[in-house]
């Protein structure tokens, strides 16, 4: 894991967008793994700005999102389908048919999950996976205790995750209890991983990410075993790490 320290949220977003743009420059038909949440929003804004200014082309890019709430329709404003459309897909020239998210309303969820993993493989696998991190160390919606062998699957959300995400809903009761997520094995298959973290509320989990052994009780620690992981975090998120440690992890 290589750490890149950013001053603040804005700088983190700019640095993250640079990593993604380098990937697109290197391979204009890259398969990108995308994430939702507050952390990655600024990165999408930077990519949109770049698209407007530099005309970076997305017509050959394919995208797979990490996760989707179970039981929400694509049109629901809290669905990750709606998030991606609003905050990214509608603003760049990516053909809608090349953007994939799990269908949270699938009647046969097992088949839906298998097809999702299969589609990823057919398109050559994910070149770069963008990730946020939950305060409990979840990646995608792989909550503590998730198997490292898991592929895309249906999960029950922890109450703490529902509470953390309740800010987007009218009431906590409206937050779905389940979600479909790429599994840890799915995420680990991507050739490169880019994890972002910002703010004091992520400082404890970032400390654990760098200090704990690899353990399924902190799912993100598996990234230590990935050969090509970049973590871009801002000073608040890194505030529990000593300066010397930050330098050491930056190498």
Q: Which positions are annotated as active-site residues?
A: 67, 136, 138, 143
Query: For ligand GLP, which is the closer residue by CB, 89 or 141?
Result: 141
Work out how close the CB of 171 gets to ligand GLP at its nearest, in angstroms, rounded to a whole number: 17
Q: Residue 204 corresponds to which tokens in the numbers above?
A: 């404890």
- Told to check if 203 binds ligand GLP by CB under 6 A, we report no
What CA–CA distances, in Å, run from 246 to 26, 61, 115, 189, 194?
29, 34, 40, 27, 17
Give, for 196, the enclosing helix (H) or strand (E): strand 192-197
Residue nearest to ligand GLP (CB): 132
Candidates 3, 66, 206, 222: give the one binding ligand GLP (CB under 6 A): 66
What CA–CA distances, in Å, run from 209 to 16, 49, 137?
19, 32, 8
- Told to check if 67 binds ligand GLP by CB under 6 A, we report yes
Which of 66, 70, 209, 187 lies closest to 135 in space, CA to CA?
Answer: 209
Could you tell me which stretch among 36-44, 114-122, 142-150, 241-249 binds ligand GLP (CB under 6 A)?
Answer: 36-44
- Told to check if 134 binds ligand GLP by CB under 6 A, we report yes
> Which parts of this chain interact with ligand GLP (CB under 6 A)?
35-39, 66-67, 132-134, 140-141, 161, 165
């Amino acid at each position: 894991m290589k750490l890149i320290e950013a001053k603040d949220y804005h700088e983190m977003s700019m640095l993250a967008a640079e990593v993604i743009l380098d990937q697109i420059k290197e391979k204009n038909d890259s398969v990108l793994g995308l994430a939702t949440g507050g952390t990655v929003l600024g990165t999408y804004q930077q990519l949109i700005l770049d698209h407007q200014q530099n005309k970076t082309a997305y017509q050959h890019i394919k995208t797979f999102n990490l996760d989707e709430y179970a039981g929400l329709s694509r049109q629901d404003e809290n669905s990750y389908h709606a998030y991606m459309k609003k905050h990214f897909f509608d603003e760049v020239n990516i053909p809608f048919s090349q953007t994939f998210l799990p269908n949270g309303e699938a009647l046969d969820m097992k088949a839906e999950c298998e097809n999702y993993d299969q589609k990823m493989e057919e398109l050559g696998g994910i070149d770069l996976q963008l990730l946020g991190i939950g305060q409990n160390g979840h990646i995608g919606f792989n909550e503590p205790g998730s198997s490292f062998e898991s592929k895309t699957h249906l999960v029950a959300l922890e109450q703490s995750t529902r509470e953390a995400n309740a800010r987007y809903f009218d009431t906590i009761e409206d937050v779905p209890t389940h979600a479909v997520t790429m599994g840890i094995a799915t995420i680990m298959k991507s050739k490169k991983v880019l994890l972002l973290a910002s703010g004091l509320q992520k400082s404890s989990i970032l400390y654990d990410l760098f200090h704990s052994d690899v353990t399924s009780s902190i799912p993100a620690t598996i990234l230590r075993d990935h050969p090509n992981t970049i973590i871009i975090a801002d000073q608040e998120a890194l505030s529990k790490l000593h300066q010397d440690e930050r330098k050491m992890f930056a190498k």
